[in-house]
Amino acid sequence: MTFQEQIQQGIPSLLPKPKKHELEINHAPKRKEILSDEEKKLALRNALRYFEPRHHPELIKEFAEELNTYGRIYMYRFRPDYKMYARPISEYPGKCEQAKAIMLMIQNNLDYAVAQHPHELITYGGNGAVFQNWAQYLLTMQYLSEMTEEQTLTIYSGHPMGLFPSHKEAPRVVVTNGMVIPNYSKPDDWERFNALGVSQYGQMTAGSYMYIGPQGIVHGTTITVLNGFRKIKTNPKGRLFITSGLGGMSGAQPKAGKIAGCITVCAEVNPKITHIRHSQGWIDEVIHDIDELIKRVALAKANNEIVSIGYLGNVVDVWEKFHEENIYIDLGSDQTSLHNPWAGGYYPVGISFEKANEMMSNNPVLFKEKVQETLRRHAKAINKHTENGTYFFDYGNAFLLEASRAGADVMAENQVDFRYPSYVQDIMGPMCFDYGFGPFRWVCTSGNPVDLQKTDTIACEVLEEMAKTAPSEIQQQMKDNIQWIKGAQENKLVVGSQARILYADAEGRMKIAEAFNQAIAKAEIGIVVLGRDHHDVSGTDSPYRETSNIYDGSRFTADMAIQNVIGDSFRGATWVSIHNGGGVGWGEVINGGFGMVLDGTKEASKRIESMLFWDVNNGISRRSWARNEGAIFAIKRAMETQPLLKVTIPNIVDEQLF
């Protein structure tokens, strides 16, 4: 069968042969045993409902074995034989270009070069899933190949519920992930619901088909590191940044450090992902021995080098050894998947990667004890460095949250706040999000690198023109982004689809998008998909990350994220998504995203103007109401440019009155 025919058949009526478990692939760790015997029967019933009853006698044994061996039913047998990657949009079958674009984005999320655990349909973060199983993938792709512009596909935590009649201006796909009742939103609830096959953790851009590989976070991390050095009034060259994690999102850190111009040491315990990042050019060197690392860093400091080093080992050893050897660390952070601490997101020190994985599934109680013990050591070592002047920030991965739950010394004197700020709280929030700058991104669906180069040029020209008249408050943001886009090709950021990310405000996003649409109309470039990271101005309510610089008491509310996805859906998004969890953990955040297909039409221009304006200014208005100075400036400026916008501005209370 051709690729197109395989897509169109959906779940095959004849069972494919069982697939061999490929050991060279980076697989998800075994999930812990959590279901009772009766719940296991329910999980099997849930899995078998995708298949004709005549296949049940054969599949029930296989699925039971998967459940017992891996803790989940992935339906490996139904993994497609074709190569998984983002093909040019013309190669997808279908009746609707928007649907074809979504198929392209789904396959990009599962590309072996992009996905963390591709056979388990997990894109990044240890549990950030596109689908729960391969039947859901096959059925979704079939529905998209049949979809017309008068239908909308609804996705319930990876399950394609079906195509429903709608209209041309409605979203083609609406995605929800993990939207459970709040009282059933603890980590073990996720384990149970996911094992039953009824809910999933979509992370942020994994379950919304908008992940573009580590590039998606490289830019944000570059800005964070640059502004971190600005905050401590230090030139990055020859200065040291220590962090950990080389997985899907965290793998961006050494590349960002290189672009920012410092020495980066990024520790990772997983040999496979370490060597993948090295082969992709995201780290310059890999070092296995801690003493060798000491010597290499000392040399790099002496020579004022700009270099990225991957240390294959536990970061706690690095923090402790560097203190022992009196090696000064300028900036420090951590980006392990601590939103998922008990299932492979963070590994205990002093135990091999293989033995830790065994302990995780066979003795989860002891594994949790070892992880919490490591967190206490981790925090203690960091505290020693910060006493000597190191600037440490939480990278929004729930490090401080889980460290505090483990009893680590990370609380401020008031025992309410953390000792260290979140990077959003201290850097990205006041410097970027409050002014409306966030991770706007696009994908060239032609798959042609020339199209990406053309879009880079278009975006740069738009930004340079805007910078001529931009107010002083946002000149630094404009300069950083112009510098970024000019170096984008040189830095070889593409992994998977021909995609780019660029921090821009509402005006910048709208002008860049319209310039793309005009270029498409003139046949200068092919169809473009617009999107953004959920980690943005408006899309996410996360009290320890995206909304950590909200101080009016509302940072634990999620009205903004819900309003955002509702507003995007009727203002022109091609698809929308809303998730529980992502970044900092299940039950800790609500986040939403979108995708928009630009096809060169006048209708696309209307959607750009309507949706992109709302998508950013919804968040600015909330940040303004929280009395954030930059956001008050930004929303007043937005009202000057759009007479139909009228937002309530807060009145500031004289503190002496208290």
Please report, in range form, the residues annotated as the binding site for NAD(+). Answer: 125-126, 203, 268, 395, 583
- Rounded Cα gap, residues 442 and 243, in angstroms: 28
- Rounded Cα gap, residues 386 and 420, in angstroms: 10
Contact by Cβ (8 Å): 44, 64:
yes
DSSP assignment, residue 332?
Answer: E
Residue in the structure block whose two tokens are 């022992």: 324
- CA dihedral sign, ordered 113, 574, 514, 604: positive
Three-state SS across 154-221? EEECCEEEEEEECCCCCCCEEEEECCCCHHHCCHHHHHHHHHHCCCCCCCCCCCCCCCCCCHHHHHHH
The token pair that represents 133 in the structure block: 């199983």
CA distances to 254, 434, 545, 572 from 565, rounded to whole Å, are: 33, 19, 19, 11
- Rounded Cα gap, residues 395 and 374, in angstroms: 18
Alpha-carbon dihedral angle through residues 252, 255, 256, 259, given to the nearest 10 degrees:
-160
- Rounded Cα gap, residues 16 and 333, in angstroms: 46
- Rounded Cα gap, residues 108 and 112, in angstroms: 9
Residues of the binding site? 125-126, 203, 268, 395, 583
What's the gap between Cα 461 and its chain centre? Answer: 28
The token pair that represents 392 in the structure block: 């440490």
Contact by Cβ (8 Å): 301, 263:
yes
Contact by Cβ (8 Å): 310, 293:
no
Query: What 3-state class would DSSP assign to 84?
Result: coil
Alpha-carbon dihedral angle through residues 516, 518, 523, 528, given to the nearest 10 degrees:
30
- CA dihedral sign, ordered 381, 387, 390, 394: positive
Bin 585: left if φ > 0, else alpha if -120 < ψ < 50, else beta.
left
Contact by Cβ (8 Å): 235, 270:
no
What's the gap between Cα 68 and its chain centre? Answer: 30
What's the gap between Cα 319 and its chain centre? Answer: 26
Contact by Cβ (8 Å): 209, 131:
no
The token pair that represents 485 in the structure block: 């886009």
